[in-house]
Amino acid sequence: MKVTQHIKEAKDTLFSFEILPPLKGKSIQSIYDGIDPLMEFKPKFVNVTYHREEFIYKERDNGLLEKIATRKRPGTVGICAALINKYEVDTVPHLICGGFSKEETENALIDLQFLGIDNVLALRGDPIKTEPTFRPHKDGHKFAVDLINQVTDMNDGKYMLDDVDLEPTAFCIGAAGYPEKHFEAMNKQTDLKYLKDKVDAGAEYIVTQMFFDNQKYFDFVESCRKAGIDVPIIPGLKPVKTLNHISFLPKFFHIDFPEALSKELLKCKTNEDVEKVGIEWGIQQSKELKAAKVPCIHYYTMSNSSQVKSIAKEIF
Ligand code: FAD
């Protein structure tokens, strides 16, 4: 079922979460072990991230270094299909522009349709670690809006080879939104304009980047509505978990910790201290969002479900 249909039918705020495929060589059991504790909260859909290639250097016998492209976390589509089978839950694979030609995207969408997957979250993807800026595939898409246009075309029965009588796909398309602005955007206004373009191209709902100050989400929703973006905007939450997160999350995701949270985090001496603060903050954020009747709260688990379980227990 489509994410938008779940939202339409819901009587209260929904619960959903996002997982990462395991590192290459790990079994799918690690995914089930992470998901099992969260199933009691009846998620309506589970997102599975997509990770493109990275470059690593391997030493050859002659002592020279060889640059090798490798995907450390493959398996997005397989995991989505396995979760549908095992839990009868809807899944949302993330689809990115980076590393894909348009034809590879078309073929991936055909696979997804054959597997009974009704939703995709369409993203540009980040630059690969060794590149300073995002470089699209030479036959691929530069921005998420272009990818959304391709999915919309297929939903209209338009494939790349202009053949007639092709079966339309029926994907519900989600897009990413940034309450604190995407880090490359010149300003909030241009970022909002490009977000509106994604909705006009066919995105039916938005999932936000993580934020720790609900006011930023409420302001973002207000700006979106003023800009004519009228699709559901699902807030994304990530509980802080480790001492390392205190610098990593703001740096990597380009988000700020509010003053009150940073004060609490600065008192923490151990990962356990941070974990407790993260849960308490997540509970407070979730309570306020639920009271504001947001359509769904989407939790980034980053392969760790214990904190999300502690929060969900208090909310759902
Ligand atoms: P876009 O919407 O294309 O925007 C990228 C930048 O370009 C923005 O600054 C925007 O303002 C600007 N822009 C957009 N259109 C135009 C235009 N026409 N002309 C000029 N500028 C333009 N990454 C992964 O690799 N895998 C994942 O699974 C993944 N999951 C994510 C899930 C969520 C909910 C979120 C919020 C992010 C996720 N990301 C993931 C990260 C995402 O790929 C990055 O944030 C990426 O840098 C931008 O993706 P986007 O889809 O928002 O890009």
| Model pLDDT for residues 214-229, shown as the tens digit of each residue | 999 999 999 999 999 9
Could you tell me which of 188, 99, 79 has the C-alpha nearest to residue 140? 99
What is d(CA 187, CA 199) in angstroms, rounded to the nearest whole number? Answer: 19
pLDDT at res. 67? 87
Using alpha carbons, select from 213, 210, 218, 219 the residue that is nearest to residue 308: 210
- What is the model's pLDDT at position 36? 97
Query: Both ends of the chain: CA-CA distance in Å?
Result: 21
Q: How far apart are CA 265 and CA 262, in angstroms?
A: 5
The whole-number average pLDDT for the span 170-198 is 98
Residue in 141, 178, 194 to alter for ligand 1 test, most ligand atoms within 8 A of Cβ: 194
CA-nearest of 173, 307, 300, 308 to 249 is: 300
- In ligand 1, which atom is closest to the CA atom of 134? 47
Looking at per-residue confidence, does 55 or 224 come out higher? Answer: 224
CA dist., res. 44 & res. 218, Å (int) = 23
Pocket of ligand 1 from Cβ distances under 6 Å: 49-50, 52, 94, 96, 123-126, 143-145, 176, 182, 184-185, 190-191, 194, 198, 207, 209, 236
Torsion, Cα of 239, 243, 248, 253 (10° steps): 10
- The number of the ligand 1 atom at minimal distance from the alpha carbon of 184 is 9
Using pLDDT thresholds of 50, 70 and 90, give the confidence band for residue 161.
confident
pLDDT confidence bin for 130, thresholds 50/70/90: confident
Confidence of residue 286 (pLDDT cuts 50, 70, 90): very high
Helix axes 102-114, 144-155, angle to 10 degrees: 50
